[in-house]
Amino acid sequence: MQEEALQAIQAAPDLESLQAVKTRYVGKSGLVTRELGTLGKLPPEERKARGAEINAVRAAIDAALTEREAALKRAALDARLASEAIDVTLPGLGLPSGGPHLISRILTDLQDIYAGLGYTVVEGNEVEDDQHNFDALNIPWFHPARDLWDTFWLEDGRLLRTHTSPMQVRYMVDHTPPLKIVVPGKVYRYEATDATHESMFHQLEGLVVGERVSMADLKGTIAEMARGLFGPRTQVRFQPSYYPFTEPGADFSVWWENPRGESKWLELGGCGMVHPNVFRAVDDLREAQGQPRVYEGKTGFAFGLGPERIAMLKYGIPDIRYFYANDPKVLAQFRGPLG
């Protein structure tokens, strides 16, 4: 019986079957237990030896049970640990991470440069009206220069701003000089899209108004910005240009030596002294609101530039449409530190 029991114990594949073996041999009515119950019927002189024999069998079975139970428990634990194990040598899955868009980063850099020069950053609405986008900027409806800004008109007669310049007007109507502001934001043009034209792009507008603000101040400011953007040795060039809201008006370029060893004049934006007609229109709007006329006789300068253009020139991006096609392969190249 002992041999049989020990074999059954070794063969039990799990704790449940081991329990069955235990019940069969040493349970309350198990085979060994029943054998002990027969001792009373034996003649007294045989009892002791028989009792010792049965107890030895029981002890052997108990020991085997304990040992097998421990082994089965250990095996079960090992199996569970193995099923929970991870292979830390497998290649990772790499969670893709997002980040600010290159154009946002350039606009942020520009705002930092101007904040350092004491400018206030303000934003306007993308839906504008004719008065602020054109009329008050000295571009009446019959003015041929309106063609410079191909316009998306809304059904209610309003429009998508074609430049950030309307914020010059809005800010001056609400504030008195002296003032220094920059206006980052989106602008819209009704144009066929190609490598250098998008129907939506960004501008950063600047406006300074005070006493005896001069063209020299304007040039110094643009030079300071260009050096902040392209490095301390950057040269700036101004060429006469025409904007209805400036007199005189100019376009500015930087002489920039890029890391690939090329250098050339890169046109970055437009600028000029604020046209007296703009100050007059602002005072008219103020007067209509019951505010005093405070701009006539003041001087100021304004400028506007496009961050897309800066990005294309600086990083050799050949097509403006890359910025908004949302291809992660393009955008991810501009996540790290920018040169």
Which residue numbers belong to the known binding site? 247
Q: Which is nearer to ligand PHE, 30 or 185 (CB)?
A: 185
Annotation: binding site for Mg(2+):
247
Alpha carbon of 63 to those of 9, 13, 71, 303: distances in Å?
A: 10, 17, 12, 95
Chain centre to alpha carbon of residue 277: 42
CB 45 within 8 A of CB 39: no
| C-beta closer to ligand PHE: residue 252 or 334 | 252
Output the smallest distance, CB 239 to ligand PHE, in A.
13
Question: Least distance from C-beta 339 to ligand PHE, angstroms?
Answer: 27
Which residue's Cβ has the minimum distance to ligand PHE?
Answer: 304
- Give me the least distance between CB of 287 and ligand PHE, in Å please: 24
The CA distance from 103 to 185, in Å, is: 11
Name the residue nearer to ligand PHE (CB basis): 12 or 205: 205
Collect all residues with Cβ–Cβ distance below 8 Å to 289 and sequence separation of at least 6: 173
Nearest C-alpha neighbor of 265 from the set 235, 300, 290? 235
Distance CA 95, CA 231 (A): 35
Nearest approach in angstroms of CB 246 to ligand PHE is: 5
Give strand ranges (E) for 31-153.
Answer: 120-121, 127-128
For residue 118, which phi and psi values (nearest 5 degrees)?
Answer: 90, 15
> Which of residues 218 and 311 has its CB atom nearest to ligand PHE in the complex?
218
CA 159 to chain centre: 30
Which spans of this chain sit near ligand PHE (rule: CB under 6 A)?
A: 163, 165, 205, 243, 246, 249, 270-272, 302-304
What is the dihedral angle through the alpha carbons of 287, 292, 297, 303, rounded to the nearest 10 degrees? -70
Least Å from the CB of residue 294 to ligand PHE: 21
Nearer CB in complex with ligand PHE: 225/302: 302
Q: Is the dihedral of CA 319, 325, 329, 333 positive or negative?
A: positive
Please give the structure tokens belonging to residue 168.
């010059």
Instruction: Report, in Å, the least distance between residue 106 CB and ligand PHE.
Output: 17
Helix axes 215-230, 102-116, angle to 10 degrees: 130
Decide whether 221 or 246 has the Cβ nearer to ligand PHE: 246
Closest CB to ligand PHE among 32 and 183?
Answer: 183
- CA 119 vs CA 111, 112, 177, 246: distances in Å: 9, 9, 13, 20
User: Least distance (Å) from ligand PHE to the CB of residue 209?
Assistant: 13
